[in-house]
Chains A and B, each alone.
Chain A
Amino acid sequence: MTGTVFNIQPYSLHDGPGIRTVVFLKGCPMRCEWCANPESQSISPQVWFDREKCISGKGCSFCAKLTDISRFDPAAFDGETKSFESICPCGALGVYGREMTVGEIIDRVEAESVFYGEDGGLTLSGGEPFMQGEFAIELLREAKRRHINTAAETCGQCSKEVLRRAAGLLDHIMFDIKLIDEERHRRYTGCSNRQILDNLEMLFAEFPKLRKRIRTPVIPTVNDNEEDIRAIAGLLSGRENYSYELLPYHRFGVGKYRLLGREYAAIPDKLDSELFEKLKQLTL
């Protein structure tokens, strides 16, 4: 079975317990304005181009047979992507997303297993990993078969049945909640949050032993206020076997919008660090 992966990152330290290898699956149903991984949104492979690194001006012409690079616009490109994968030696032109089999991926994950210790292992991330639901489940099943610890990061916007089957194969889950207010959730992410909250209820109800880490990215003007954070903390309060964490807004993804020929929907203000510290107090 194959799926589309846009990165496999060994030695990941902040994506679950221990040292982990994160497998990033392509595709996400949400369109958050602040998204730090714009290359993860579309489920298909996408060509990217970094004009700053291109040295066609210095006589480089390795890609000339594919395109006129001086006029290339990745956003407008919709042709075959495969031949773009390894044509450019300069790191200026490439493809986000590659078809891989379950075996290929888990072999790479297993190759790192000496580093996993007692807690580390595989983390599925995305995009939304459960958008490629059957593939994600197969990856988890294969990992479990090889006794590799499993975790997943999800935005919660996925089929309940897929999530239920995946949860049975998971040791940890990291589940994001952005807002409780449905109207604003729809405005900022393009989706209602009903499915998300429903899925969360299902996890708490049916998988009491699954270790859950609930996370909220704190985004300026979106949810960087006491009321929203209190609402999420309130929803969680009294439940068992979970931890709640706030993630500070960052702009590391901005450059990738440029590579895809897209504009970054400016999040106007930077996050106030004092405010962030104060909000963190609410989650304790």
Chain B
Amino acid sequence: MPITEKKVLSPQEERIKNSHAPSDKRAGRLLAGFQGTRPVIDIERGRYFTESFKKTEGQPLVLRWAKALYHYAENASVYIDDGQLIAGRAGREGRYGILYPELDGDFLDEMIKSLPERDSSPFDITDEDAQYIISEISPYWKGKTFHEALAAAIPEETRRYTYNNDAELSSRFIVNETASFRSSIQWVHDYEKPLRIGFNGIRREALDKLAALDEFSPIDNTERRPFLEAVIITADAIILWADRHAELAEKKAAEERDEKRRAELTELARICRKVPAEPADSFYEAVQSQWFIQLFSRIEQKTGTIISNGRMDQYLYPYYKADKEKGLIDEDRAEELLECVWVSMAQYIDLYLSKAGGAFNEGYAHWEAVTIGGQTPDGRDAVNELTYILLRSKREFPLNYPDLAARVHQRSPKRYLYEVAETIKDGSGFPKLINDEEVIPLLLAKGAQFEEAYDYSVSGCAECRMPNRDTFTSPCAYINFAAALEMTIYNGRMLKYGSEVIGLRTGEAESFESFDEFLAAYLRQQKNFMKHAFIQQHEIIRLRAEHFASPLGSSLHRLCMEQQKDIHSPKIEGGIDLGYFEFIGYGTVVDSLAAIKKLVFEDKRITFAELKKAMENDFEGYEPIRQLLQSAPAYGNNDGYADEIGRLLDRELLEFTKKYSKELEVHLDLRYVPFTSNVPFGKVVSATPNGRHAYKPLSDGSSASQGADRNGPTAVLLSNYATKNYDHRDRAARLLNIKLSPQCVSGEEGTEKLVDFIRAWRDLRLWHLQFNVINRETLIKAQQDPDSYRSLLVRVAGYSAYFCELSKDLQDDIISRTEHTAV
């Protein structure tokens, strides 16, 4: 084809071309050892927790949890991988997932039994281990899990929106609870404290508090004492576990013939003897200590999307700086140590055995976010040398883990913004961006002090936590508002569930005489969903403390230690309880309402009866109507017609939670972050008035419906801005993904324009932004499924075009030119 523009190579490709492939590095060799291997289920965590729990019945839960951790630390296998500089895994070699029977023990045996029948089971388990689960682990937990207790506790009517009526209590994907497949919402520890004082320091703190207890106080005796004892046992457990790694390293060193490796193992043994028991005194020690702590936290409980890493460029910086001044470390060495941790993270699989859990996090994705940039507790820019090393590591070692989150604010230095943009351009989409200008005022409005708000960490996908101030760990409801829309159209029913009336009977759709009547009916269904979500949440908050404890996490939390209370307690004084509920299908609902308003009521191009008929047939034989629906105004185009509807829905939900979250004594904020759950939620919703086919995915987060954004990425941002209610504080993250082609961002000029785009996003006070710099596979998908990719813009040599509008041969040409930018 007659395009002569030079191929755009990403920096990563340039490196490959110049043969500085990542495999030259230590981490690259470690990665090659497990890449592409099938994950295994390691049962040790499930086994030792169950063994311990059997022996501790009747004792305070926090103490039982600590004893289970100790039992694990004493008995579980310990590992040091060949060539690794960092010790510790929570399961056997290769990629592994571990068991949390306290969550899913009641149906774990059924899941394991059904494994051989699955078409493609994503993990392996030995027959012996499978048998152990069926005969020893699962039977103990039947009747004891939170999942069962919650299902029994929520009222009959609310259950109808929550679970299917089956043995496993599978999710109905309408008003969906997520509290029963993880022990905590996404979370971040204060890592600075254990690095500074070590677990011996925490142990001493607990001992002092124990000595100070009032021997006559009933609370001190029944609650504070077991809590403090649990903290001491947990400190002993992690120290013991680290010691066992030291022993292994010593043993390996003694057997090692290679002198260089022997020296590495000897040093590793020394470090594991020291941390996390004692304060870290070097960058290497701090990194190893942090990894032990977060790994032990993974063993302690299943945290949603895995425990996050916090502000690594802040709490590790003093160690880096001191080592650098002493000439003990350079950038390459720091990067090598961090990458040894990254490959360890990549081998941990966030295993979900329940169908709902798996569907929420398809591909076992996890987000143990590393936060960089942002502001110091006193409100100055926080970027330092380590920030740039973390960015460089993401550019040079293209691994999905950890998730990197860059905080951006008004005074973020130019170099930082440019390096962030350069890293995004590298093709993998990292880092995602989080906006201080939106997050900090909201944290302040909810009661944070300035120094706490400035010091927030990104947690999981898009949440922001203040590690010593956040105290709400209950996972929250994901609400399928597209189902509410369907119930408005079918008078309380959904096509998937036939004649069963689930929602409110708001009237037959054909009888609505104006759009306002229809909208009012939808808003009643929406409000009814909120009612059931809040009823669920009330029971979840009440019941969780009876099922979950986190002595490790609590020992790292200032308020928990001050009050000697487990973090999962329903109420901790002085805490800020930040929860949320999730809007699933925002674009789908807004576009559907806009289409009904415009085409049925305003322009009268179709009747409601015709629309219903077309949808009942999934548009089979009604393609002209489907096309007409898709031509209606849609969210994501900076079109006030659709955006005003979007803002109204957002506001109604904010008003509800403003009124009723007080009764739950928490902040339940409106959030738009679906993970991959817009797919399973879509599977229960039949065809929608925006022309979406039945059971296809709903729109994702606060992004436009698939292919509905026809005016480019700036319009998507402006629609987001237009639909937010800035006068309300009851809002949390909006996830926003933007697709760009590599040509959009190529060269120095491309970087500058990407920085301009990021600044605009910051000034619009949007919460989150992640770029997909598209690769060849995306373009091929777009070719096969143009409906979902109509908004994909490709820009080549001074000309820009929507990819799907180009002819097949031109598309092929562009594909052939982008293939080398594929990651």
Decide: B757 and A19 in contact? CB cutoff 8 A: yes
**A-side contacts of B810, CB under 8 Å:** 251-252
User: Closest CB-CB distance, A92 to chain B, in whole Å?
Assistant: 9
Per the bound structure, the CA–CA distance linking A200 and B3 in Å amounts to 29
Decide: B797 and A89 in contact? CB cutoff 8 A: no
Residues of A160-195 at the interface with B, using a CB-CB cut-off of 8 Å, are none
**A-side contacts of B753, CB under 8 Å:** 13, 18-19
User: Closest CB-CB distance, B554 to chain A, in whole Å?
Assistant: 44
Instruction: Judge if B756 is at the interface, Cβ distance under 8 Å.
Output: yes
**B-side contacts of A111, CB under 8 Å:** 638, 718
Per the bound structure, the CA–CA distance linking A9 and B795 in Å amounts to 13
**A-side contacts of B757, CB under 8 Å:** 19, 115
Decide: B760 and A276 in contact? CB cutoff 8 A: no
**B-side contacts of A116, CB under 8 Å:** 756
Q: How many residues of A are counted as interface, with CB atoms below 8 angstroms from the partner's CB atoms?
A: 43
**A-side contacts of B793, CB under 8 Å:** 11
Instruction: Judge if B498 is at the interface, Cβ distance under 8 Å.
Output: no
Interface string of B600-638 (1 = CB under 8 A from A): 000001000000000000000101100111110000001
Instruction: Judge if A265 is at the interface, Cβ distance under 8 Å.
Output: no
Per the bound structure, the CA–CA distance linking A254 and B783 in Å amounts to 19
Decide: B714 and A112 in contact? CB cutoff 8 A: yes
Decide: B750 and A13 in contact? CB cutoff 8 A: yes
Instruction: Judge if B798 is at the interface, Cβ distance under 8 Å.
Output: yes
**Are A250 and B712 CB-contacts (below 8 A) given A60-B624, A220-B2?**
no
Chain A residue at minimum C-beta to C-beta distance from B715: A10
Interface centre among A60, A114, A116 (most CB of B within 10 A): A114
**Are A248 and B4 CB-contacts (below 8 A) given A62-B624, A62-B628, A115-B714?**
yes
Residues of B700-718 at the interface with A, using a CB-CB cut-off of 8 Å, are 711-715, 718
Per the bound structure, the CA–CA distance linking A60 and B630 in Å amounts to 14
**Are A10 and B623 CB-contacts (below 8 A) given A220-B2, A252-B799?**
no
**B-side contacts of A115, CB under 8 Å:** 714, 756-757, 760
Query: Pick the contact of B756 from A19, A91, A255, A270 — CB < 8 Å?
Result: A19
Stretch at the interface among B71-79, B82-90, B518-526, B800-808: B800-808
Interface string of B721-751 (1 = CB under 8 A from A): 0000000000000000000000010000110
Interface string of B491-532 (1 = CB under 8 A from A): 000000000000000000000000000000000000000000
Interface SS of A by simple majority: loop
Residues of B757-810 at the interface with A, using a CB-CB cut-off of 8 Å, are 757, 759-760, 763-764, 793, 795-801, 805-807, 810
Per the bound structure, the CA–CA distance linking A11 and B754 in Å amounts to 11
User: Closest CB-CB distance, B769 to chain A, in whole Å?
Assistant: 13
User: Closest CB-CB distance, A278 to chain B, in whole Å?
Assistant: 11
Instruction: Judge if B1 is at the interface, Cβ distance under 8 Å.
Output: yes
User: Closest CB-CB distance, A122 to chain B, in whole Å?
Assistant: 14
Decide: A117 and B714 in contact? CB cutoff 8 A: no
User: Closest CB-CB distance, A218 to chain B, in whole Å?
Assistant: 8
Instruction: Judge if A81 is at the interface, Cβ distance under 8 Å.
Output: no
Instruction: Judge if A71 is at the interface, Cβ distance under 8 Å.
Output: no
Decide: B807 and A14 in contact? CB cutoff 8 A: no
Chain B residue at minimum C-beta to C-beta distance from A14: B798
Decide: B714 and A11 in contact? CB cutoff 8 A: yes
Residues of A110-124 at the interface with B, using a CB-CB cut-off of 8 Å, are 111-112, 114-117, 120
Chain A residue at minimum C-beta to C-beta distance from B721: A114
**Are A250 and B714 CB-contacts (below 8 A) given A60-B624, A89-B631, A114-B760?**
no
Interface centre among B1, B624, B755, B763 (most CB of A within 10 A): B624
Decide: B795 and A14 in contact? CB cutoff 8 A: yes
19 CB contacts below 8 A, A to B, read A9-B800, A10-B714, A11-B712, A11-B793, A13-B744, A14-B797, A14-B798, A18-B752, A19-B714, A58-B623, A59-B623, A59-B624, A114-B763, A117-B759, A120-B756, A248-B4, A248-B797, A249-B4, A252-B799
With A12-B800, A58-B623, A220-B2 given, can you name 19 additional A-B contacts, CB distance below 8 Å? A9-B712, A9-B800, A10-B711, A10-B712, A11-B712, A13-B750, A19-B714, A19-B760, A62-B624, A89-B631, A91-B631, A111-B718, A114-B764, A115-B756, A251-B1, A252-B810, A270-B2, A271-B2, A271-B4
Q: Give chain A's interface residues, CB within 8 Å of chain B.
A: 9-15, 18-19, 36, 55, 58-62, 86, 89-91, 111-112, 114-117, 120, 220, 247-252, 254-255, 269-273, 276-277
